[in-house]
C-alpha cells in the first residue's frame, strides 16, 4: 500500500524516537577538535573506515597542527602520514588543495555554508554536511552507503543517488534532526542493518520497516 508524504513523515518521527532511545550516544564517529580537522578526517574517510582514520589522524594533526602546515607541506610528507587510509595520493592532493583554498579565499577559516564548502577540493555535499552538522551545528543530511541502503529498506526512497536521497529526506525528517538522523541511521546500519545479513529478528525498527524479514 502506497504511503502519502504525511504518512511517511509520521513514520519517520516514530523511527527517530526509537533510534534515539536505542542509540542515545550516537554522534560523529570521527575524532576532531576543529572544523579543519573534521574536514581532513572526512576526506580521509572516503573508501576507508572511521576506525582506521582515527588511528591515523592523531599523528597527522600533531605533525601538521595548522592549516598553513598542510598548504606548505611536501606532498610526499603528507602522503606518508595518510598512506594506510588508501587512495593517499588523491587524498593528499585534495587536502592540500583545500588548505590553500581556505587560506586564499576564506581568510584561513573553514567556511560555514554548503555552497562555499563544496568549492574546496575533495569536498562534496556529503563531506560538507558532515562539517556543517558536527563542527558548526548547522543541520545537514549526510548520505553515505549506510544511509542509501537503510532508507531504501525503510521505504523512504527508491533512489541510489545520494543527492536525490538527501533532497527526498529533507521534507520527511524534521530539519533540527537532520544531522542526528544521519548519525542514528549510519550507526544502526553498522550494528544491526548490515548490507549482507541484516538482523531483522533483533531489529528495533522491524515493526516500522517494510523490508523486515524480506532482505
Catalytic residues: 126, 144
pLDDT exceeds 80 at position 91: yes
The 10s digit of each residue's pLDDT in 101-128 is: 999 999 999 999 999 999 999 999 999 9
214 is a domain residue: no
Number of folded domains in the chain? 2
Residue that is last in its domain, among 71, 106, 135: 135
Determine the average pLDDT of the residues in 55-74.
Answer: 98
CATH of the domain at 72: 1.10.340.30
State the Cα–Cα distance between residues 213 and 44, nearest whole angstrom. 35
How many residues can be counted in the chain?
Answer: 215
CB of 28 within 8 A of CB of 183? yes
The pLDDT of residue 2: 85
- Return the C-alpha cell found at 174: 524534521
Question: CA 211, CA 162: separation in Å to the nearest integer?
Answer: 20
In the chain, the percentage of residues whose pLDDT exceeds 90 is: 98
Global pTM value: 0.94
199: cell is 538482523
Q: What is the CA radius of gyration of the chain?
A: 18
Residue 66 lies in a domain: yes
Asked which of 1-10, 30-39, 61-70, 72-81 is least confident by mean pLDDT, the reply is 1-10
Domain-ending residue, one of 120, 135, 150: 135
- Tell which of 135, 151, 180 closes a domain: 135
Amino acid at each position: 500500500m502506497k504511503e502519502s508524504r504525511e504518512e511517511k513523515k509520521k513514520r519517520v518521527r516514530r523511527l527517530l524516537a526509537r533510534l534515539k532511545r536505542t542509540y542515545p550516544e550516537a554522534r560523529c564517529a570521527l575524532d576532531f577538535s576543529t572544523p579543519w580537522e573534521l574536514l581532513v578526517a572526512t576526506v580521509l574517510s572516503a573508501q576507508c573506515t572511521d576506525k582506521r582514520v582515527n588511528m591515523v589522524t592523531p599523528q597527522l594533526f600533531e605533525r601538521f597542527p595548522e592549516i598553513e602546515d598542510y598548504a606548505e607541506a611536501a606532498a610526499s610528507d603528507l602522503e606518508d602520514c595518510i598512506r594506510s587510509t588508501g587512495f593517499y595520493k588523491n587524498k593528499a592532493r585534495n587536502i592540500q588543495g583545500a588548505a590553500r583554498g581556505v587560506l586564499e579565499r576564506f581568510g584561513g577559516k573553514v567556511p560555514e555554508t554548503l555552497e562555499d564548502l563544496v568549492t574546496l577540493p575533495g569536498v562534496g555535499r556529503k563531506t560538507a554536511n558532515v562539517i556543517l552538522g558536527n563542527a558548526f551545528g548547522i543541520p545537514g543530511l549526510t548520505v553515505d552507503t549506510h544511509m542509501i541502503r537503510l532508507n531504501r529498506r525503510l521505504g523512504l526512497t527508491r533512489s541510489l543517488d545520494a543527492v536525490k536521497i538527501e533532497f527526498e529526506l529533507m521534507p520527511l525528517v524534521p530539519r533540527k534532526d537532520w544531522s542526528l538522523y544521519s548519525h542514528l541511521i549510519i550507526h544502526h546500519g553498522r550494528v544491526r542493518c548490515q548490507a549482507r545479513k541484516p538482523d531483522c529478528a533483533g531489529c528495533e525498527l522491524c515493526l516500522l520497516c517494510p523490508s523486515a524479514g524480506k532482505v
